[in-house]
Amino acid sequence: MLAGLIIPILLLASLPAAAQTDDKQQARLAEIKQRIESLQRELSQVRNERDQLLKELENNEKNISELHQRIDKIKRDMQSRGEKLRELREEQQQLEESRRSMQRRVEQEVAAAYRLGRQEQIKLLLNQQNPQHIARHLRYHQYFLQARSQVIDSYLTTLSALQTVSSSIQRERDTLDTERRRLHEQKQQLLTRQRARKSTLDKLAAQLADKSGELQQLQSDRSRLQKLVDEVSRTIAALISPGDQQPFAKQRGRMQWPVKGRRANAFGATRASGIRWKGITIRAAEGEPVHAIHRGRVVFSDYLRGQGMLLILDHGDGYMSLYAHNQSLTRSLGEWVERGDVIARVGNTGGLEHSGLYFEIRHRGIPQDPTIWCRR
């Protein structure tokens, strides 16, 4: 008996502690967001003409990413409404078939009533001499009248339902027309932004025509990413991972690649002037879904100059995975994602000419060869 009382008391006592832990986690996430935003402002400072062009590129690519998200949402809404419209049309067809069937029955009942005339019960009484027969026929007659009334009521109900469904179909059609117009407008805005992006990229290409300019840009991009990773690593150190979190290290060689496609480079290969690849670029079609390789918490989900739309997952024990150059991001800071969840869409942000995903795995800030962790 005593043991039965102690367990609930212990559970109740643990509730405030759990709530406090959650509050601390939220406060820590807010601090992470604030420190990263401060770092981003520092990294995005405009110091020269090239920085100004990169800032223009960032603004264009952010706007393009937002437009893609709006377009995707409109398409999802249209698909949902299209399915609802199909269901309504099927319901309308079934009701119409029911109406035609009921109409024939109503016509038969009306014709029968007309033939019998208004003195149906009197005729039954006059034509019968046996009291038992009279009682039985009167009862049958009442059943007949009741059935006739039910047929007519069902017919009227079906007519009312048809009217309701027809009105709903019209509303859905009107809404779909509105959505199509919105989709067209968003696509036009997207084309305008893409032209502006192309113009900015051409200007940047002209500045990076010589090797020294390209090297300077690569070094700047790498330095910017390293500063971000270092800052994220420091700030997430105090975050608590759930007890049921499967250790990242135990999944070595078992994880799926975040997206299907051709690997454009080898980890550690020389990129330019001695700079080596710290991750792998996977060529994939724009808009393809990017999947989380392991359960984790989103610790960065925003634009970073040189990396485009970037998402970073913390997997605990000092492990992180990075997904760069996305078209759009589907998860926000602080969210937990499971292995295989869609976290982004493949794109070419960050100034890429071709679409693809740049993918890194790091342990305590040090890049790891993804081919060791993901299935070959």
Listed as own residue / partner, the contacts of 75-81 with beta carbons closer than 8 Å and 24 or more positions apart are 75/183, 77/179, 78/176, 78/179, 78/180, 78/183, 81/172, 81/175, 81/176, 81/179
DSSP line for 284-352: --TT-EEE-SS-EEEEEEEEETTTEEEEEEEEETTEEEEEEEEEEE---TT-EE-TT-EEEEEB-TTT-
The distance between the two most distant Cα atoms of the chain, rounded to a whole number of Å, is 119
pLDDT reported for residue 288:
94
Residue 208 in domain: no
Give the pLDDT band of residue 135 (cuts 50, 70, 90): low
193 and 261, same domain (yes or no): no
Q: Is the pLDDT of residue 21 over 50?
A: yes
Residue 33 in domain: no
* Nearest partner of 352 among 370, 325, 371, 333, judged by Cα: 325
Residue 228 in domain: no
pLDDT reported for residue 55:
74
Cβ atoms of 354 and 283 within 8 Å: the answer is yes
pLDDT digit string, tens, across residues 83-98: 877 777 787 787 777 7
The CATH code of the domain that includes 352 is: 2.70.70.10
371 and 262, same domain (yes or no): yes
DSSP line for 108-154: HHHHHHHHH-S-HHHHHHHT--SHHHHHHHHHHHHHHHHHHHHHHHH
- Cβ neighbours around 18 below 10 Å, total: 10
Instruction: Please indicate, yes or no, whether the overall pTM of this predicted structure exceeds 0.85.
Output: no
Q: What's the structural domain count of the chain? A: 2
Q: Is the pLDDT of residue 293 over 70?
A: yes
Q: What integer is the mean pLDDT of 131-159?
A: 60
User: Of 142, 169, 198, at which residue does a domain stop?
Assistant: 198
Instruction: Name the average pLDDT for the chain.
Output: 76
Instruction: Report which of residues 212 and 271 the model is more confident about.
Output: 271
* Nearest partner of 305 among 271, 349, 275, 346, judged by Cα: 349
189 and 286, same domain (yes or no): no
Residues contacting 316, CB < 8 A, separation 6+: 241, 245, 247, 248, 296
Cβ atoms of 299 and 232 within 8 Å: the answer is yes
84 and 192, same domain (yes or no): yes
User: Which range of residues forms the domain containing residue 303?
Assistant: 245-376
Instruction: Report how far residue 208's alpha carbon sits from residue 54's, in angstroms, rounded to the nearest whole number.
Output: 12
Q: Tokens 């029911």, residue?
A: 98
Residue 343 in domain: yes
